[in-house]
Amino acid sequence: MPAVVEMLGITKRFAGFTANDHINLVVEKGEIHALLGENGAGKSTLMNILFGLYQPDEGQIKIREKAVKITDPNMANDLGIGMVHQHFMLVEPFTVTENIVLGVEPTKGLKIDIAQAERKVSELSERYGLKVDPRARIKDISVGMQQRVEILKTLYRGAEILIFDEPTAVLTPQEIKELMEIMQNLVREGKTIIFITHKLKEIMAICDRVTIIRRGKYIDTVSINETNVDDLAAKMVGRHVSFTVEKTPPQPKGPVLEIRDLIVEGNRGVDALRGLSLEVKAGEILGVAGIEGNGQSELIEAITGLRKTKTGSIKLNGSEIQNQPPRKITERGVGHIPEDRHKRGLVLDYSIGENMVLQTYYKSPFAKTGVLQRNAIFEYARKLIKQFDVRTPSEDTPARALSGGNQQKGIIAREVDRNPDLLIAAQPTRGLDVGAIEFIHKKLVEQRDAGKAVLLLSLELDEILNVSDRIAVIYEGRIVGIVNPEETDHDQLGLMMAGGAKS
């Protein structure tokens, strides 16, 4: 097969560090080629170079065996390169067709020929099995369909080489399955796909070859037939990674968190928790499994004081904490790794050092009579950064500038170091690579072994099954069953999560 994309010896330096250091990427026509690397390994930089957003400092790019210099995205388009961005670039109130033709509108006189555009969109949609309604408005369609609109945008512009930038990060398992089918359809019709990801299972399921980069350096290109998940993980992280969480049997003691008949109203005015009862003991990890939107968020918010409860009780170490202000609850010994780290977990414009004392800034030694003690704060931050391996140029770097994994490590450092009796971890590994996931799971188990209670909420069944000592299944605002992870599997949990009775 001839190579359609050749990026040879690509080097890109930013002030102070090298994002890409002589990276090679050779993609053959008609293949799905994965670009694998940890967060911050340089995948996005490389793709931005291919898409004309950055200029390489060294190296050569060939498209269809012709050397080219891609100076801007329009030129990339002309060369048949299309990018499906992770964060969609769609105009919400516009229709699907209007979004697709934006910038390349077919005209009839002075008017946009929407009818013709719609025909073409339908045609493309059918040909690749995209199932998109050209007249629907973006704001009314699901995330999965919005992504398919992004794919159509590139196809409409005649893209032959499609770059998918972490496309599955925002999708549900069902949508991921559909996306994989679409990708196979695209390849069958002669397109070439570059698939950026750090999810190994997806690579094994769908790709032909994979190029691995680590910390800006080219590591290897291998065929899927000649590799496996463990091998890929080791190449990506640079050491052996264990996927099973190593832990000894739990030694649970008395209850730390006791929730009785909790009723809490959700955002839409309907009760999101409808008489939920739950208990987490010291020295155990209780996993809460469930499909998104069954009351998980409201449960966390109620425990941490961010949401008012209607009736029922929440006891921490025997005393009631419901409807107390968040600070009181924090001070009583609750740590919380929030599900949305950008919304709740960090003040992105503060330095990572300042973020380390987000709940404790007013206490000694970080403050004396209302005056911040900068040295004490930064010294503490340096300690946590080292201890939790947060990769940051310095403690004075804005949290915004860190990669997702390192931001999350920062939050975990802060929450764990406060040594709370109850640690709530909500989707603690969402969007992170295997190395970071392994690290975070280890920390959760360490907390458990130190005799703390850990409440883990996750949408990833593998995570729940691997890490938890007991699993509570939440469905429509109630716990519908408690199971032992050793005695259950995906199918049983899936059934319970969908409201089927415990078998």
What distance in Å separates the CA atoms of residue 455 and residue 275, rounded to the nearest whole number?
Answer: 18
Task: Write down the least CB distance from residue 358 to another protein, Å.
Answer: 4
What distance in Å separates the CA atoms of residue 501 and residue 460, rounded to the nearest whole number?
Answer: 21
- Strands (DSSP E) contained in 237-377 are 255-265, 271-281, 285-289, 311-316, 319-320, 334-337, 367-368, 371-372
Between 233 and 334, CB nearer to another protein: 334
Which SS3 state, helix, strand or coil, does residue 333 take?
A: coil
Task: Write down the least CB distance from residue 483 to another protein, Å.
Answer: 31
Task: Write down the least CB distance from residue 14 to another protein, Å.
Answer: 9
Between 119 and 328, CB nearer to another protein: 328
Task: Write down the least CB distance from residue 394 to another protein, Å.
Answer: 6
Between 328 and 490, CB nearer to another protein: 328
Between 69 and 328, CB nearer to another protein: 328
Task: Write down the least CB distance from residue 419 to another protein, Å.
Answer: 17
Between 306 and 495, CB nearer to another protein: 306
Between 358 and 480, CB nearer to another protein: 358
Between 256 and 356, CB nearer to another protein: 356
For residue 219, give the H/E element and its range: strand 217-223
CA angle 222, 228, 232 (to 5 degrees): 60
Between 345 and 435, CB nearer to another protein: 345
- State how far Cα 398 lies from the chain centre: 20
Between 40 and 283, CB nearer to another protein: 40
Query: If you search the block for the tokens 């005209």, which residue do you land on?
Result: 107
Decide if 83 contacts 163 (C-beta within 8 A).
Answer: yes
Interacting residue ranges for another protein, rule: CB under 8 A? 15, 304, 306, 325-328, 330-331, 336, 338, 343-351, 354, 358-359, 361-362, 367, 370-372, 393-394, 396-398, 401
Task: Write down the least CB distance from residue 94 to another protein, Å.
Answer: 26
Task: Write down the least CB distance from residue 371 to another protein, Å.
Answer: 6
Query: If you search the block for the tokens 């380390």, which residue do you land on?
Result: 356
Q: What are the b/e assignments for 95-116, b being 16+ CB within 10 Å?
A: bbbbbbbeeeeeeeeeeeebee
What distance in Å separates the CA atoms of residue 239 and residue 234, rounded to the nearest whole number?
Answer: 5
Task: Write down the least CB distance from residue 82 to another protein, Å.
Answer: 27
DSSP designation for 486:
G
Paired tokens of 469: 């000592």
Which SS3 state, helix, strand or coil, does residue 58 take?
A: strand
Task: Write down the least CB distance from residue 489 to another protein, Å.
Answer: 35
- CA 363, 365, 368, 374 dihedral sign is negative
Between 357 and 465, CB nearer to another protein: 357
Task: Write down the least CB distance from residue 242 to another protein, Å.
Answer: 32
Which SS3 state, helix, strand or coil, does residue 442 take?
A: helix
What distance in Å separates the CA atoms of residue 125 and residue 313, rounded to the nearest whole number?
Answer: 52
Q: Tell me whether residue 38 is exposed, middle or buried, using C-beta atoms within 10 angstroms of its C-beta: 0 to 12, 13 to 18, 19 or more.
A: buried
Q: Which residues contact 140 (CB under 8 A, 6 or more apart)?
A: none
What distance in Å separates the CA atoms of residue 88 and residue 85, rounded to the nearest whole number?
Answer: 6
